[in-house]
Amino acid sequence: MASLRCWSLCPKPRQVASESVHGAQLALQRLSRRCETCDVEAGTRCKCREEAVAQDGGKVAVVEVKGEERRSEPNSSFAHSAINMVGMLIGLGQLSTPYALENGGWASVFLLIGLGVMCAYTAHIIGRCLDEDSGSKTYQDIGEQAFGVKGRVIASTIIYLEIFLALVSYTISLSDNLPLVFAGVHLHLPWLHLSATQLLTIIAVLVALPSLWLRDLSSISFLSFAGIIMSLLIFGSVVCTAAFGGVNLGKHISVLQLEKIPVVSGLYMFSYAGHIVLPNIYTAMKDPSSFTKVSVTSFAVVTALYVALAFVGASLFGPAVSSQITLSMPPHLVVSKVALWATVLTPVTKYALEFAPFAIQLQHHLPEGMGPRARMFVRGAVGSAALLVILALALSVPYFQYVLSLTGSLVSVAICVIFPCAFYLKIYWGRVPKSTVTLNVVLMVTGVVLAVVGTISSAKSLVQSIQRGHAA
């Protein structure tokens, strides 16, 4: 995911608290700056504020401050915005595209491309919704603009659910790849009935845990850039394996396996998840009228990368391809080791970033008289408890492809397809031609079908895998 220019909360007359999914760092950069006057974190009460109102029920925190407004003007160029969007979209989903193509058949690439086109269109209409109301700065603002407080609450709930499930998927990925990174390492504690893989995963999560206790959240913003580098390293490693790794391309890929399409659709959908961050990219643009061109360009680039990665990975390994391409790469190759390390380090860079929205929202609901140290303790304790729950769930349900597919079908389809169309129709009702209404209704129905069928199929496969695991 990409970084945007930071806006400071404290010196700004009105600032909207933003929560995002895989773009949590964007919210973090806009909200986690420190107040220079009072030396406290943004989101906490400080003396320079004239009035602070934190509305409950998922409502946005609005801050009125004394003094002169100091706000950086939006200045992201077309190229900068496109790079931000591409970097935001490429993430965990790329690991599973070869597996999805091999299981769905080469014809399923049309589904991958079709979903990319759908998401590019819904990105466009999110921009249209932001055009309509200059006060809307976040995805939740658009929900409230369309359906009032209920729209904001529903959008926020789905966003937090996706963050939670995405972190579970990251932790499962960490657990799957760690044994290959530390091949030959044998850990055993006689008083704990845990495997070496589970112990390594616990150690890795505990190493990342202190980042949740940082008093100044802006100090972890560098992790955003690290996440982009890791994603690019993984993609480059797969390409290098095909070109120089001595693994022959040309493994057979079936035409179409219709019965596996529901699970595959969830995997593909998760790969495009990121619409929560689009309003942040829009508001940072010097020329917001170019947002549609940026969206089309970015989704075209990402779709092309996914198609290339899917075909290369599936052609390299065929039916033996794993749910994460890194697990299939020859372990003796240097590029394989690079890809494995990148995959292992990615979750470690994500925990604090993804928890930032929770931390920010939590700060708005803490008592006014609570000091900075107490706030840090509460935020760290809550974050640590949540991360330990995620760790326990990931170790209990270590089935990456089904958890990822469930996330894509259950929440990503709603965020990327269903909600944007519903918001757009509600906001522009009576002002768009019937053809546009028909198009958006068709997309909503398609999204609902993908969500229902994909959720049922992936949940069923997940339950069956759990049952087989207990029986073994």
Tell me how far apart the 2 most distant CA atoms of the chain are, in Å. 69
Place of tokens 């958890």: 403
- Residue 439: what pLDDT? 96
Asked if 91 and 29 touch (Cβ cutoff 8 Å), the reply is no
Higher pLDDT, 467 or 114: 114
Segment holding 41, helix H or strand E: strand 40-41
Weakest mean pLDDT among 3-12, 281-290, 325-334: 3-12
Query: CA of 67: how far to CAs of 11, 12, 53, 79, 348, in Å?
Result: 8, 9, 18, 35, 39
Q: Dihedral sign for Cα 231, 159, 174, 226, please.
A: positive
How many angstroms separate the first and last alpha carbons of the chain?
39
Q: Count how many Cα atoms sit within 13 Å of the Cα of residue 123 in the half-sphere of its side chain.
A: 31
pLDDT category at 380 given cuts 50, 70, 90 is confident
3 pLDDT more than 90: no
225-261 confidence digits (pLDDT tens): 676 788 888 888 888 888 777 777 778 889 999 999 9
292 pLDDT more than 70: yes
471 pLDDT more than 70: yes
223: exposed, middle or buried (C-beta count within 10 Å: 0-12, 13-18, 19+)?
A: buried
Q: Count how many Cα atoms sit within 13 Å of the Cα of residue 131 in the half-sphere of its side chain.
A: 14
Closest of 274, 244, 272 to residue 24, by C-alpha: 274
Share of the chain above pLDDT 70, in %: 82
Share of the chain above pLDDT 90, in %: 39
For residues 391-414, give the mean pLDDT. 93
Q: Three-class SS of residue 192?
A: coil
CB atoms within 10 A of CB 39: 9
For residues 254-269, give the mean pLDDT. 94
49 pLDDT more than 60: no
For residues 416-428, give the mean pLDDT. 95
Weakest mean pLDDT among 16-20, 72-76, 318-322, 349-353: 16-20
Q: Count how many Cα atoms sit within 13 Å of the Cα of residue 185 in the half-sphere of its side chain.
A: 14
For residues 426-436, give the mean pLDDT. 93
- Residue 27: what pLDDT? 44
For residues 194-205, give the mean pLDDT. 87
CB atoms within 10 A of CB 449: 13
- Residue 216: what pLDDT? 59
25 pLDDT more than 60: no
What is the distance between the alpha carbons of residues 49 and 215, in angstroms, rounded to a whole number? 20
Phi first, then psi: give them for residue 443, nearest 5 degrees: -65, -40
Tokens representing residue 176 in the block: 């799957």
- Residue 196: what pLDDT? 83
Written as one letter, the residue type at 128 is R
Place of tokens 């079936």: 254
Fold category of 78-467 in CATH: Amino acid/polyamine transporter I (1.20.1740)
Higher pLDDT, 76 or 179: 179
Written as one letter, the residue type at 10 is C
Q: Three-class SS of residue 50?
A: strand
Higher pLDDT, 453 or 345: 453
For residues 75-103, give the mean pLDDT. 87
pLDDT category at 472 given cuts 50, 70, 90 is low
413 pLDDT more than 70: yes
Q: Three-class SS of residue 40?
A: strand
- Residue 189: what pLDDT? 73
Closest of 6, 467, 462 to residue 222, by C-alpha: 6
Domain borders along the chain are: 78-467
pLDDT category at 47 given cuts 50, 70, 90 is very low
Q: Distance of alpha carbon 68 from its chain centroid, rounded?
A: 35
What is the distance between the alpha carbons of residues 203 and 126, in angstroms, rounded to a whole number? 41
pLDDT category at 191 given cuts 50, 70, 90 is confident
Query: Virtual CA dihedral for 100, 103, 104, 107, nearest 10 degrees?
Result: 100
Q: Kindly give the residue spans of alpha helices, DSSP state H, lying in 1-138.
A: 24-31, 78-89, 97-104, 109-132
pLDDT category at 299 given cuts 50, 70, 90 is very high
163 pLDDT more than 80: yes
Closest of 172, 288, 174, 313 to residue 238, by C-alpha: 313
135: exposed, middle or buried (C-beta count within 10 Å: 0-12, 13-18, 19+)?
A: exposed
Place of tokens 């044994």: 179
What is the distance between the alpha carbons of residues 91 and 227, in angstroms, rounded to a whole number? 8
What is the distance between the alpha carbons of residues 285 and 292, in angstroms, rounded to a whole number? 12
434-447 confidence digits (pLDDT tens): 999 999 999 999 99
34 pLDDT more than 60: no
Q: Are strands 34-35 and 61-65 parallel, antiparallel or unpaired?
A: unpaired
pLDDT category at 45 given cuts 50, 70, 90 is very low
Residues 6+ apart with CB under 8 A from 178: 197, 200, 201, 204, 344
- Residue 403: what pLDDT? 93
Q: Are strands 40-41 and 34-35 parallel, antiparallel or unpaired?
A: antiparallel
Beta bridge partners of 285: 76
